[in-house]
Amino acid sequence: MGYVSELRKHIGHMPIMHPCASIIVENEAGQILLQKRADNGTWCYCGGAIELFESAEDAARRELLEETGLTALELELFGVFSGEELHYTYPNGDEVSTIDIVYICRKWTGTLRCQEEEVTELRFYDIQNLPGDICLPTVMPLKKYLEYREKAALSTGKKY
């Protein structure tokens, strides 16, 4: 059982700081991988809680493998996101103030497979055509990612 689950036994649903590590996976076509959450049916990038004494990078790699079947070969730190926009209440009532350490992964290996308990669908999306039902804590980091991609396209002349 994970650290957050153990903590919840003592504090119930009250708000906690929730350090997470996540990965925005890009394919060769410049699309990003999103997963449909089993708990609320919204879309998000891969990621989850950092376990006690686990490094953020190790947590991101673990979550990617668990949720998608993919192994990250290289990670690039994209950013650390926190604040009111990452406040979230899970369907079971657990409330968190997320601190999300987000990586970009362009080199990976493996075959896509959903983690049945948490993920109902995995799909690569063009960044101009993301689904409308994005999970709230990933909205702001994805917006920053889209801005990053737009700036990269302007500076390189490459269209995404």
27-42: pLDDT as tens digits: 999 999 999 999 999 9
Residue 158 confidence class, pLDDT cut points 50, 70, 90 = low
Q: Is residue 33 part of a domain?
A: yes
- Specify if 74 maps to a domain: yes
CATH of the domain at 60: 3.90.79.10
Per annotation, catalytic residue among 6, 76, 121, 147: 121
Is 66 considered catalytic here? Answer: no
121-136: average pLDDT = 96
Is 159 inside a domain boundary? no
String of DSSP letters for 64-127: HHHHHSEEEEEEEEEEEE-SGGGEEE-TTS-EEEEEEEEEEEEEEEE-----TTTEEEEEEE-G
What residue numbers bound the domain in which 14 lies?
3-154
Q: pLDDT confidence of 143, banded at 50, 70, 90?
A: very high
Residue 153 scores a pLDDT above 90 = no
- Asked whether residue 81 is domain-assigned, the answer is yes
- The share of the chain scoring above pLDDT 70, in percent, equals 97
CA dist 92 and 84 (Å) reads 20
Residue 73 within a domain: yes
Examine residue 69 and state whether it is found in any structural domain, yes or no.
yes
